[in-house]
C-alpha cells in the first residue's frame, strides 16, 4: 500500500507541474526541441473540454486520500477510480507513441504511475483489504502529500524569465531587421507549435492596435520535433516573396495539418503564382535561410517559442496583451527621449 501511495504522490506532483505549465504565462517546462508542449496542447489534451492536468490533479489527489483513509466505503470508491486512471494512462500512452509520435516526460511518469496503481489495486483482490494507518504514519503521509503539491507547483512555475532585457546582447540578426525611429516588434514562431498558435491572436491584436507606432516582422523557425513545421515555414517564406506572407501565416496558424499539398492549396487560394511558389519551396536557398534562422533563434531564445522582441526586450512563451502593450509604450517613450 505504501507503494500505491507513493505512486499517487508522484503522479500528483507531475500533474500539478503540468497544470502550472498549462496555466502560467511565459516560458514553460519545455525547451526549443521538446515534445511536452505538443502533447499537452494536442487535440488529446482535453477530456470533455477539461484539460488533462486538471483531471490528473483531481484523480490522484482522490486516490491518495482514499489510500490514507481506508475503510469499506473508500475501498468501494477506490476500485473504479484506480482502474479508470489505469485505463486512461494506458490509452494516453498509446496515443503518444502511436498517434502523436511524441512522448512527454511528465505524461510518461503520470501514465506509468496510473497503470501501476491499477495493477496494485487488482492485486489487492488476493492480498485482502488495505490496512489502516496509525496517527504517526498518517501525519507522515499527509506531510509527504503537501511536499508533493509544493514540488509540483514549483516545477510548474519554473522556467526562464518571460520578460528580459538583453542589455546590449541583441542578436545581430535581430538588429538587422529594425527600422530606425519605430518600435520594432519581431515575433519568432513555429506554425505547428501549440503555444505559438495560442499567442498568434494576441500578437495580431497588438499589431492592429499599435499599428501607428510599431514595425512588425515575423520570423519562422521550425522546431525539429515538429514534422510539418518546415513545410509550413517554406510556404510562408515563399508567400512572402509574392507579398502574401501575412495571409499565408493566418492560414497556416489556423490549419489542423500542414502537409505540403495543404500549403500549396493555401498558395493557390491566396492567388499566388503556383509555379514560382513551387520553385521557391524546392529551392535549397529556402532551407538554408531556415537553417540560419533556427541556429540563431535556438541560441537567442533558451526558453523556447514563441518569442517576441519589442526592441531589445524579449518575451518568451504565451503573454498577456497588456504586458506587450506596456512594453511598446515603454519603448516608444525611450525613443522620444533619445530624439534631439
In tens, the pLDDT along 297-319 reads 988 887 778 899 999 999 988 88
Positive or negative torsion for Cα 8, 11, 14, 19: negative
216 touches 254 (CB < 8 A):
no
pLDDT at 118: 94
For residue 266, the SS3 value is helix
Can you point out the beta strands (E) in the chain? 46-47, 50-51, 163-165, 183-189, 214-220, 307-310, 313-316
What is the rounded distance in angstroms from the CA atom of residue 186 to the CA atom of residue 178?
9
DSSP assignment of 190-211: -TT-HHHHHHHHHHHHHHHHTT
Domain with CATH 1.20.1440.130 in the chain: 2-156
pLDDT at residue 129, rounded to an integer:
63
pLDDT computed for residue 114 by the predictor:
96
Determine the pLDDT at residue 124: 75
pLDDT tens digits, one per residue of 11-66: 999 999 988 877 765 554 445 555 666 677 677 888 888 989 999 999 999 999 99
Could you give phi then psi for residue 183, rounded to 5 degrees? -80, 115
**pLDDT value at residue 34:** 57
Pick the CATH number of 2-156 from 1.20.1440.130, 1.10.3660.10, 1.20.140.70, 1.10.10.10: 1.20.1440.130
pLDDT of residue 177: 93
Alpha carbon of 194 to those of 43, 96, 137, 206, 253: distances in Å?
10, 16, 44, 19, 9
Task: Tell the residue number behind the cell numbers 511528465, with chain if given.
Answer: 106
Per-residue confidence (pLDDT) for residue 24, from 0 to 100: 67
> Tell me, what's the pLDDT at 71?
77
User: Taking every pair of C-alpha atoms in the chain, what is the biggest distance, in angstroms?
Assistant: 85
Instruction: Tell me which architecture the domain covering 163-338 has in CATH.
Output: 3-Layer(aba) Sandwich (3.40)
Residue range(s) occupied by CATH 3.40.30.10 in the chain: 163-338
Q: Which three cell numbers stand for residue 46?
A: 482535453
Positive or negative: CA dihedral 117, 123, 129, 130: negative
pLDDT at position 26: 54
| Chain CA centroid to CA 129, Å | 42
Closest by Cα among 226, 237, 159, 158 to 194: 226
With a cut of 70, list the residues of the chain below it in pLDDT: 1, 24-38, 41, 125-130, 158-168, 339-340
What is the pLDDT at residue 29? Answer: 41
Amino acid at each position: 500500500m505504501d507503494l500505491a501511495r507513493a505512486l499517487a504522490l508522484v503522479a500528483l506532483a507531475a500533474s500539478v507541474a503540468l497544470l502550472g505549465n498549462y496555466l502560467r504565462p511565459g516560458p514553460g517546462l519545455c525547451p526549443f526541441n521538446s515534445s511536452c508542449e505538443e502533447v499537452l496542447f494536442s487535440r488529446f489534451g482535453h477530456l470533455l473540454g477539461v484539460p488533462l492536468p486538471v483531471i490528473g490533479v483531481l484523480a490522484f489527489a482522490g486516490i491518495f486520500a482514499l489510500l490514507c483513509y481506508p475503510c469499506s466505503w473508500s475501498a468501494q470508491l477506490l476500485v473504479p477510480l484506480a482502474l479508470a486512471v489505469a485505463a486512461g494512462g494506458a490509452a494516453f500512452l498509446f496515443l503518444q507513441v502511436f498517434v502523436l509520435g511524441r512522448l512527454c516526460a511528465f505524461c510518461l511518469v503520470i501514465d506509468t504511475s496510473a497503470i501501476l496503481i491499477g495493477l496494485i489495486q487488482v492485486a489487492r483482490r488476493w492480498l485482502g483489504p488495505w490496512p489502516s494507518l496509525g496517527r504517526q504514519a498518517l501525519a507522515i503521509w499527509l506531510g509527504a502529500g503537501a511536499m508533493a503539491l509544493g514540488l509540483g507547483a514549483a516545477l510548474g512555475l519554473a522556467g526562464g524569465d518571460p520578460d528580459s532585457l538583453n542589455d546590449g546582447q541583441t542578436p545581430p540578426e535581430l538588429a538587422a531587421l529594425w527600422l530606425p525611429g519605430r518600435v520594432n516588434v519581431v515575433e519568432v514562431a513555429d506554425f505547428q507549435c501549440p503555444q505559438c498558435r495560442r499567442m498568434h491572436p494576441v500578437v495580431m491584436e497588438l499589431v492592429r492596435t499599435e499599428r501607428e507606432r510599431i514595425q512588425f516582422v515575423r520570423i519562422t523557425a521550425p522546431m525539429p520535433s515538429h514534422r510539418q513545421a518546415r513545410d509550413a515555414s517554406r510556404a510562408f517564406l515563399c508567400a512572402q516573396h509574392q507579398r502574401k506572407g501575412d495571409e499565408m501565416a493566418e492560414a497556416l496558424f489556423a490549419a489542423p495539418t500542414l502537409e505540403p499539398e495543404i500549403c500549396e492549396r493555401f498558395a493557390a487560394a491566396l492567388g499566388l503564382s503556383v509555379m514560382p511558389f513551387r520553385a521557391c519551396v524546392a529551392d535549397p536557398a529556402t532551407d538554408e535561410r531556415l537553417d540560419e534562422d533556427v541556429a540563431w533563434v535556438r541560441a537567442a531564445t533558451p526558453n523556447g517559442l514563441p518569442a517576441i522582441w519589442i526592441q531589445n526586450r524579449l518575451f518568451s512563451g504565451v503573454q498577456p496583451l497588456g504586458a506587450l502593450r506596456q512594453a511598446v509604450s515603454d519603448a516608444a517613450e525611450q525613443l522620444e527621449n533619445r530624439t534631439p
